A and B are shown apart, each in its own frame.
Chain A
Amino acid sequence: MMNCTEWQHRIDAYVDAELPPSDLHAFRAHVETCPACASMTLSVTESKAAIRRAGHRYTASPELRAQVFAAMKRERSEQHQPLPARRERPMSRQAWWHPTSTAWPRWGIAIAALLLVVVGLFLVTRRQQSTALAELVDLHVADLASANPVEVVSTDRHTVKPWFQGKVPFTFDLPEVQGSPFSLLGGRVTYFHQEPGAQLLFRYQRHLISVFIFRQTPELSLPASFSDQSSSFRVRTWIQGGGLRYVVVGDAAPAIIQQLSDLLHVAQ
């Protein structure tokens, strides 16, 4: 048996999704029974998210962007011609604006710049999406680590649904999970950017899965339908029922997350 100190050496690897599969189950089993290791794991998870947000700090100027991409295109068109003699400072800031420094026509530059703005917007949106997603995964993890993961403890959807009345600014339907491999553990009110929402906790074997339901707001910048399997958590999200955003987060297999998502779709 490993002691806590040995498990604590594995927390970084666990949070980075680098723990070998042979250790993963044992690690989770230990964390489920050890509050000290669970809280450390949570703090490293939260730290990693905080560092990610703080680390996205600098954005290139539109000039640099245009310059690099124009140079890339120019290089491409010159590939079969001899390369130009290396300048003292290749593609210096002034060179881009200097009409004689390039054979690239002005309108070409304008189109390239416009494309870059579009690509830039796309990337900004992507980043917002991954930030919103990361925050929801954090909510899920923080909830599992809390002493009271659910405020209304009930396996009965007819108890859980009315409990939310007056607590969240919308209503939603819960699926019948009897006969499915899932069990409902309960729910709680949660907040995303000051917007109240419902969090439902389901169990599948030893996995806990959160289902978040929020009114769709601009802060909740996610694609209309989306599935992320890159981190150790699986996330599925979609909009249904007149602008309600559903997000399913859990560490179960993608097919399981999909199955629960389908059940929620049917409930509508």
Chain B
Amino acid sequence: MKENSDSGSEFERLATPLFDSLYNFARWLSGDEAEADDLVQEAFTKALRGFASFTPGTDFRAWIFRILRNTFLTSRTGLRAKLTDSLDEDEGEIIAVTWETPESLAVAAATRDALQAALERLPAPYREVILLCDVEEMKYKEIAEVLLIPIGTVMSRVARGRKLLRQSLAGERPGWSASAGKMDE
């Protein structure tokens, strides 16, 4: 084996199993098929060309998800989302989560369609944390690496994101404005 192809095949070995997850995440971020295609292509190209800067033995999944997300943030949709995005949270502080029984059952009882619609309505900062935590099943530390935010912020966004989903599905007054919820559309 020639030396120059070693890092390429190592990249392929690490990146291939993540292709589906990265595509799914890109689609959720952008909300658009053509844009998700471009994002994934660009992220793979960037990651491959920048593979030398990846430290072997560290978390490759967090590294490549971060590249994908940064690619999204600098895209047109991403920049627009960033401008309209405001978070009603105390960063890093665990917010008080109150529980009401019908609300607590709302997510598990929801249909797949209703749950997907509720995830779409979730403000992007919560949606991405919920996707990484529940769909990709990343650890809080890994999510913090992808998003470049403190672990405390990951925890408060997980708690608040789940709370908002429950409220949204229980048909209560959601804790965010309708316009912010639609920012990706």
Chain A residues within CB distance 8 Å of chain B: 8-9, 12-13, 16, 18, 39-40, 43-44, 46-61, 64-65, 67-69, 71-73, 75-77, 79-80, 83, 89-91, 93, 119-120, 123, 127, 230-231
Contacts and interface: CB of A to CB of B under 8 A. Distances in A.
A57 B108 contact: no
Interface in B118-168: 119, 130-131, 133-135, 137, 139-140, 155, 158-159, 162, 165-166
Nearest to A51: B134
B107 interface: yes
SS of A interface (majority): helix
Given A9-B97, A56-B135, A123-B20, 14 more contacts: A13-B155, A43-B104, A50-B107, A52-B137, A55-B28, A57-B24, A58-B28, A64-B23, A68-B40, A72-B44, A76-B8, A76-B11, A90-B41, A123-B19
Nearest to B36: A58
A93 B110 contact: no
- B interface, size bucket: 35 or more
Contact of B110 (A50, A56, A76, A119): A50
Chain A CB within 10 A, most for which of B9, B36, B107, B159: B107
SS of B interface (majority): helix
B158 A16 contact: yes
A12 B134 contact: no
B42 A58 contact: no
A44 B23 CA distance: 26
Nearest to A122: B17
Contacts of B11: 72, 76
Pairs of residues from A and B, 6 with the lowest C-beta to C-beta distance, nearest first? A76-B8, A55-B135, A47-B107, A46-B108, A58-B27, A54-B115
Given A12-B158, A72-B48, A56 B94 contact: no
A89 B75 CA distance: 13
A150 B116 CA distance: 35
B44 A56 contact: no
Nearest to A4: B99
6 contacts: A43-B108, A57-B27, A71-B45, A76-B48, A79-B7, A89-B38
B105 A60 contact: no
A75 B139 contact: no
